[in-house]
Each structure stands twice: as structure tokens, then as C-alpha cells.
Amino acid sequence: MSVALDAGAWAGNDDVRWAADARFAVYYAPSRVSPWWQAGCEWLGGDVETGAAYTAPQPPAVARTVAELTQAPRRYGWHGTLVAPFRLADGVSSRAVLDEARNWAHDQTPFVLPVEAATLGDFVALRPAETDGETAMRALAASALRTLGDLRARPSADDLGRRLAAPLTERQRSLLIEWGYPYVFDEFRFHMTLSSSLDGAEERAALVAWWQARIAELGALVIDSAALFVEPAPGQPFVLWQRLPFHADKVETP
């Protein structure tokens, strides 16, 4: 099945034939029934699972439109990275990735994650509000990466060279060479991006304050599933292909 069909035709469809240069990622995405999914999709202007478009609410203390402030994260959809985007290793099918991801998710236990809005560098994001939550998300991401590690293509020499040219610590360089990405395991910091890079400190502070008020209404995140996202071709917007529910016998607080 072509991915160029009606918006949302890929979602939950095991038989989509993705292009050879498609990239896959394991992200956290709030459940469709969670108010956090609606809030995030509205903020970023669209639902990457159904293809529906939204108009974001405008924080009164911010001069620029939300569309201007969120141009970069809009391409990736509402998510928090667990396994960064990757291409498939030779001989690996998208169905194999889906099966492994589903099996991994079934072994995970849901938990509640209190979050806060914060400035990370020059952008605004949600992040765990407590150390235990940060530790739980780091363990979840590490588990997913180890499960899918053998299915991921190694970065090309050009891509590796470009990444190594960035300002990285020795530990990050080592992780990049071994795992194809520098911010994994002990270097992983879970976050859900709310803005592009913003030069103005006042603008960032206004967004943090506005989102802190939203968090008081929306409550903690429930980490009860992950999702397999796909970039159908280089530079195209990511889509949510499959949701990966966790084993839901109980919900724990980290």
C-alpha cells in the first residue's frame, strides 16, 4: 500500500510498504484518549496519526504566532524520543521492526510521569519534574534501544563525520560511534519539544509560564504506550504508524 493515500491511511496498517529510505523511530506519544494528545496536537498544528489539522491556542503574552514558534517540532509531531530516527539495516523489513517493537512494549509496565515546562538550551520543552521520573524514562529508552539495536542501519561515513564534527563530549562521541546517536543511555534526557530554537529569553519564559498553567490543568503524563513513527522519505513530516501499548496490569508511580 502506498503511503501517499488519504491522510491517516498508514495508521495501524501493518501492510504499508515504506520506501527504502524511510526512517523509523520509537517515540512516546500520549494515548489518543489522553487530554495530553489533544493538547499537543493542537499546539503543533496537527495530528500525525489521522492527518487532522488544528489551529493552536495563542498564549496572550507571546507576540509571534504559535506556528512561527513551533516550525521545527511540527515536522516530527507530538512526541518524546525513546529511540531516535533510524534507517533499517540490510535485509530488515519494516514488519520485523514492528514485531520487535510490539514484543518490547508488551513487556513494559505503565507508570505515571509528573512533568514540568522548562527551557532546555534555547528551546522550550516538557521534561520530567522529578529525578525518579527521569530515571524511569532513561531506563525505558535504553531498553527500547537495546531491543531494536540490531535492526538499525549503521550511519554512513558522511553522516557519522558530520555528527562527529558537532561539539560533543568524549562520552557522547563514543556513544555516537557505537550506537549511531550521542544522546543515549546515561546521556539521554527525556523531553517533549514545545518550540523551535528561540533567541529571546522573555519569549521562552512566557511559553514556560503558559505551559506550566496548562500542566496544572492536564496533570501528569501516563506512560502506558509507545509509538512507531515513520519519516516516509527524507525531509517529509513524520507520521504515527503504529501505537505500541504496554502491558497494563497496573500503573506505577516512579
- 68-117 residue pLDDT tens: 999 999 999 999 999 999 999 999 999 999 999 999 999 999 999 999 99
Residue 2's pLDDT band (boundaries 50, 70, 90)?
very low
**What pLDDT does residue 18 have?**
96
The sign of the dihedral angle between the CA atoms of 131, 163, 77, 94 is negative
Examine the pLDDT at 218 and tell me if it is beyond 50: yes
Which candidate, 8, 5, 11, 56, places its Cα nearest to that of 227? 11
High-pLDDT (> 70) share of the chain, %: 94
Cβ(46)–Cβ(53) below 8 Å: yes
Helix (H/G/I), strand (E/B), else coil: 192:
strand
Q: Write the pLDDT tens digit of every residue in 168-206.
A: 999 999 999 999 899 999 999 999 999 999 999 999 999
The sign of the dihedral angle between the CA atoms of 71, 239, 55, 245 is negative
The cell numbers describing 184, all together, are 543515549
Distance, in Å, from the CA atom of 195 to the CA atom of 176, rounded to the nearest integer, reads 25
Which candidate, 251, 231, 253, places its Cα nearest to that of 3? 231
Q: Cα 19 from chain centroid?
A: 21
Domains and CATH numbers, the chain: 23-152+188-245 (3.90.1140.10)
The pTM (predicted TM-score) of the whole model is 0.93
Q: What DSSP state is assigned to residue 235?
A: T
Residue 252's pLDDT band (boundaries 50, 70, 90)?
low
**What pLDDT does residue 6 have?**
57
